Structure 1
Amino acid sequence: MSDRPLCFVLMPFGTKPDPAGKAKVDFDAIYEEALAPGIIAAGMVPLRADEERLGGVIHRAMFERLLLCDFAVADLTTANPNVLYELGIRHAARPHTTLTVYASRKPLPFDVAPLRTQPYDLTARNILTPEAAAALRDGVRDKLRELRRIAHTGDVTDSPLFQLIADWRPEQLPAAAAPTFAEQVRAGEAVKARLQDLRQTVVATGASDEARAALAAVHAELRGGYVTDLGVHTEVMLAYRAMDDWTGMIDTYHELPAHLRRQVLVRQLVAFAYNRRAENAEDPADPRRGSDRQAALRLLHEMEAEQGPTSETCGLRGRIHKAVWLEAVAAGDEIRAEGLLTRALDAYLRGFEIDWRDYYPGINALTLLDARGTDEALAAMEELMPVVRFALTRSAATEVSAGYWVPATRLELAVLGGDPAEARAALGAVLASGPEQWQRTTTAANLRIIRDARARRGVDVTDLNSIIRHLET
């Protein structure tokens, strides 16, 4: 990252619902195709806010960027609460150098007339066309160049607070704060880029010794304490996850300061890691398996006590009970296995009932109903399947990029519904999505549950075995 001025981008991550009920808005595409290129063309370095991706955490790095970045661009489309909160802080601290953008013909939370702003166009399905992207890119470039020119004179104020209260003079940070901040940001962004490249390499070629050594080197650098951005440490956890290194994820979590360990996304990640480490223990008698699962359940209990159960916490709880159920089945402990299956099913069903839009607990509930195999369970599966299919269809229709889990869930639904043609098409989409190893392993394990249940009922599982082999190779 060069010494060019930093431009902080305040906008949602991923795809977000349109308040008017239309297709979701792909903010990643807007950033990558228009905002970032426009900022770069203006001679600046784009720096994107990441607290929403980190579960809404308001952390020190976010405040530093709002207060100390030379320029800022805020996308008001969909009136995202994180963006509005950040924009308010920016307007209270900086009299000028803030540009707002928004999609035309979308409801806005307030009058943008007093602001320096740049509208852009989305189609009826909320797609940013190449022509609209070029127009937004050029508009952002030109307005930021103008902002950069007038920033030296201070003649123009774009903050409503500074416009309306002439005597507003917030306390200034020490003169050394900005250079120190810029140095830390550049270091953090460089580490993030290295980690993201590393994850892509692992997906493409596997977790080689070289990749593991490279991640260990980055992690060792972070232990030196020169990067305090939670986003960087989260990227380390995700890189360890891509390598199926559950201990690495857990160690990273415990190295974080206490206030960062309290963040929801971080706790979800480490609960996931504790359970995966328990599942993958080489020695079934390893006492750490039980303690790891208890640690995961304790984290989930803490999160639910603070903010109530969610589809995510219920899904993680269901996964833990499902793993213990499979171990009881393998040990021939039928009575205990039946009780554990009930606990796993209850967790998944509760998660799906909490949020009918989240197909993850729904598809897992279907799989376990099929595994139970009683007439009552199979009838419940047939009743629930259209609801899960609708949730998946709605998600797929509003996601510009389906990622891995949409085709993976399509695959499981096709297998459960006995549709070999759809299963084959979904398998192709799964393999083409470039999944991480743990994702393929998860889907293969679920399909093995279905295969074993179907085989016990005398169903031909030849095609299903072929699908599983493709996922395991």
Structure 2
Amino acid sequence: MTPLCFVLMPFGKKPTSDGRLVDFDAVYRQLIHPAICAAGLQALRADEEQVGGVIHKAMFERLILCEFAVADLTSANANVFYELGLRHAVRPHATQLLFAQGWGQLPFDVNLLRALPYTLDASGAPDPAALAGEVAALSQKLRDARHAEADSPVYQLLEGFPDIARLKTDVFRERVDYAETLKTALAQARASRQLAAIDQVAAQLGDVARADAGVVVDVLLSYRALSAWAQMVDWVGKMSPPLRASSLVREQLGLALNRAGRSEEAEQVLLDVIQQRGASSETCGILGRVYKDRWLARLGEGRAIEAAGVLRKAIAEYLRGFEADWRDAYPGINVVTLMEMQETPDPRQAELLPVVRYAVARRMASGQPDYWDYATQLELAVLARDIIGAQTALADALARRREPWEGDTTAKNLQFIIDARHPRGEDCGWMHALVAALRA
């Protein structure tokens, strides 16, 4: 998916402080748009999203969600500066500033920021003599921004200022503001396990591309809760381009495609996210699951040699995800379990086990432990051959089990370990008892 570049600028012809008119539409058509396209990005101009000339909710969503942005500061337009302030507050980098050299003075607050000058002719349009070089310069700046350091003064000056890229799917819904009635309806639909109820809420949104991003994402996650993979894929296709391009949505699309049996498409979606945004525990964890399912499929087809190669790919992705964020135990527990599945257990497993154990313990200490926390402790104890620890974790997990499928999932993972250890001559009787209790 082509990354989006949001353009913050006036439109039409607007005067500078000395009364001269700048043809901003010509600046966009001749300079900014060609440079964005040459950088391999898709341009989305702010005024194309205006409704009645006011800054509305869709505008805020695009400012926040678009990976790249260009802001033309010429004429010190109040709307542009307001939008730039919001952008700098929520995005640490990839915001390129422009101004027409000699057409008014930049305000003091932004005068020290790195902005790229461009040249206008007497008519207020881009100067043809300088245009080619300026298009190339802006295009190069945007390409460099893929790997640049923070350009937002907020992130440069305030160490540790929060990065919205850290938001996970499970907390996104809690941090957005949307209609309480729709939120309640979706919660009831998930509780009733009725797909038609979610469809009914989704139908109320009308044009999904202009609907509240919080509701749109909540519908997506509601479909996920009911394992409605085809509906998830279809829903993503209806979203606005900036929301559809966000890491959160693309990760969920990859998950849905994989569960729908479209493994190769899922793999490509997730690889694109990693290439554009870098490795994260969430993206790599889902990609690891794609390879894990492919490994199981190859084993079922009797393609053992190919399966061994796919297993190594799954281990590599889960490990990359865990190394991206040691606090996230999900890729960690998967990597240490899959290492056990190799013909010769991976020696790195012994080093990783205590790290994963600590990650789970810190998560449990900082919140309200649920079934999956104790199930992870159970799996870790089995891997470490800690019989007493496994029995204790099993009791705690069963006390918090909400659905039968949760126990079945853990039992399946433990069965993988049994199947790997039994041919090596290990006594697996105590592990069979754990599996039986989970499936009871």
Name the TM tier (shorter chain): 0.5 to 0.7
> For residues 422 and 334 of structure 1, do their structure 2 counterparts lie closer, same or farther at Cα, with a shift above 3 Å needed?
same
Query: Of 258, 261, 267, which residue of structure 1 is paired with 2:244?
Result: 261
Q: How does the TM-score come out when normalised to structure 2?
A: 0.56
Query: Of 364, 368, 393, which residue of structure 1 is paired with 2:338?
Result: 368
Give unmatched runs, 5+ long, in structure 2: 1-55, 62-84, 91-176
Asked whether the equivalents of residues 210 and 240 of structure 2 are also in contact (C-alpha less than 8 Å), the reply is no
CA distance in 2, matches of 1:324, 1:382: 26
Matched position secondary structure for 1:346? helix
> For residues 436 and 314 of structure 1, do their structure 2 counterparts lie closer, same or farther at Cα, with a shift above 3 Å needed?
farther
Asked whether the equivalents of residues 408 and 427 of structure 1 are also in contact (C-alpha less than 8 Å), the reply is yes
Q: Given residue 423 of structure 1, which amino acid in structure 2 is its aligned partner?
A: A
- Residue 276 of structure 1 pairs with residue 271 of structure 2: no
Q: Given residue 240 of structure 1, which amino acid in structure 2 is its aligned partner?
A: Y
CA distance in 1, matches of 2:363, 2:59: 30
- Residue 243 of structure 1 pairs with residue 226 of structure 2: yes
Q: Deviations over 1:189-227 (max 9, x none)?
A: 21111112332x25xxxx4xxx22222222233346598
> For residues 452 and 215 of structure 1, do their structure 2 counterparts lie closer, same or farther at Cα, with a shift above 3 Å needed?
same
> For residues 60 and 468 of structure 1, do their structure 2 counterparts lie closer, same or farther at Cα, with a shift above 3 Å needed?
farther
Largest Rg, 1 or 2? 2
Query: Of 350, 358, 382, which residue of structure 1 is paired with 2:320?
Result: 350
Match of 1:450 in 2: 417
- Residue 411 of structure 1 pairs with residue 352 of structure 2: no
> For residues 223 and 394 of structure 1, do their structure 2 counterparts lie closer, same or farther at Cα, with a shift above 3 Å needed?
same
- Residue 305 of structure 1 pairs with residue 275 of structure 2: yes
Q: Given residue 361 of structure 2, which amino acid in structure 1 is its aligned partner?
A: T
- Tell me the CA shift for residue 448 of structure 1: 2.6
Matched position secondary structure for 2:260? helix
Q: Given residue 309 of structure 2, which amino acid in structure 1 is its aligned partner?
A: G
Q: CA RMSD in A?
A: 3.1
**Percent of aligned positions that are identical:** 40
- Tell me the CA shift for residue 467 of structure 1: 3.7
CA distance in 1, matches of 2:332, 2:253: 23
Match of 2:364 in 1: 396
Aligned length: 276
- Tell me the CA shift for residue 368 of structure 1: 1.1
Asked whether the equivalents of residues 209 and 238 of structure 2 are also in contact (C-alpha less than 8 Å), the reply is no
Matched position secondary structure for 1:309? coil
CA distance in 1, matches of 2:207, 2:316: 44
Map residues 48-447 of structure 1 onto 2, 5 A cutoff: 60=57, 63=60, 85=89, 188-199=179-190, 201-202=191-192, 207=193, 211-223=194-206, 228-278=211-261, 292-374=262-344, 377-397=345-365, 399-433=366-400, 435=402, 442-447=409-414
- Tell me the CA shift for residue 424 of structure 1: 3.2
Q: Given residue 402 of structure 1, which amino acid in structure 2 is its aligned partner?
A: P
Asked whether the equivalents of residues 341 and 368 of structure 1 are also in contact (C-alpha less than 8 Å), the reply is yes
Give unmatched runs, 5+ long, in structure 1: 1-58, 65-80, 87-184, 279-291
- Tell me the CA shift for residue 321 of structure 1: 1.0
Q: Given residue 389 of structure 2, which amino acid in structure 1 is its aligned partner?
A: E
Q: Given residue 388 of structure 1, which amino acid in structure 2 is its aligned partner?
A: V
> For residues 440 and 414 of structure 1, do their structure 2 counterparts lie closer, same or farther at Cα, with a shift above 3 Å needed?
same
- Tell me the CA shift for residue 61 of structure 1: 6.0
> For residues 305 and 224 of structure 1, do their structure 2 counterparts lie closer, same or farther at Cα, with a shift above 3 Å needed?
closer
- Tell me the CA shift for residue 409 of structure 1: 1.2
> For residues 428 and 249 of structure 1, do their structure 2 counterparts lie closer, same or farther at Cα, with a shift above 3 Å needed?
farther
Matched position secondary structure for 1:446? helix
- Tell me the CA shift for residue 434 of structure 1: 5.1
> For residues 214 and 384 of structure 1, do their structure 2 counterparts lie closer, same or farther at Cα, with a shift above 3 Å needed?
same
Q: How does the TM-score come out when normalised to structure 1?
A: 0.52
Matched position secondary structure for 1:459? coil
Q: Deviations over 1:28-68 (max 9, x none)?
A: xxxxxxxxxxxxxxxxxxxxxxxxxxxxxxx936959xxxx
CA distance in 2, matches of 1:409, 1:451: 16
> For residues 413 and 403 of structure 1, do their structure 2 counterparts lie closer, same or farther at Cα, with a shift above 3 Å needed?
same
